[in-house]
Amino acid sequence: MTQNQEILDHLQTQGPINPLLALGEYGCFRLAARISELKRDGWPIHSRMVSRRNRNGKRITFSEYTLQGVA
């Protein structure tokens, strides 16, 4: 199964995905590139910026992706 297929399956069955989850679960270092390819193939993927504090208390921002129309 390709990374695109794994990420799409995740979006369809498990919901949102972010870069850290993609790296840990699927070995994907370039989630944004995979998402871009899936969008190019017609998948309605929505991105939003998420802001959290890391373990050192520093505020970090990253993208989280969801498949539109999937609850």
Q: Choose among 16, 21, 11, 63: nearest CA to 41.
A: 11
Residues of the chain with pLDDT > 70: what percent?
97
- CATH number of the domain to which 50 belongs: 1.10.10
For residue range 34-57, list pLDDT tens digits in order: 999 999 999 999 999 999 999 999
Describe the crossing of helices 31-40 and 19-26 by its angle, rounded to 10 degrees.
90
| Cα–Cα distance measured from residue 62 to residue 49, given in angstroms and rounded to the nearest whole number | 6
Q: What is the pLDDT of residue 69?
A: 82
pTM summary value: 0.89
* Structural domain total, the chain: 1
Q: How does DSSP assign 8-37, residue by residue?
A: HHHHHHT--B-HHHHHHHH--S-HHHHHHH
Residues of the chain with pLDDT > 90: what percent?
96
- Residue numbers of the domain that contains 17: 3-67
Please give the C-alpha separations between residue 7 and each of 16, 40, 62, in angstroms, as whole numbers: 10, 14, 17
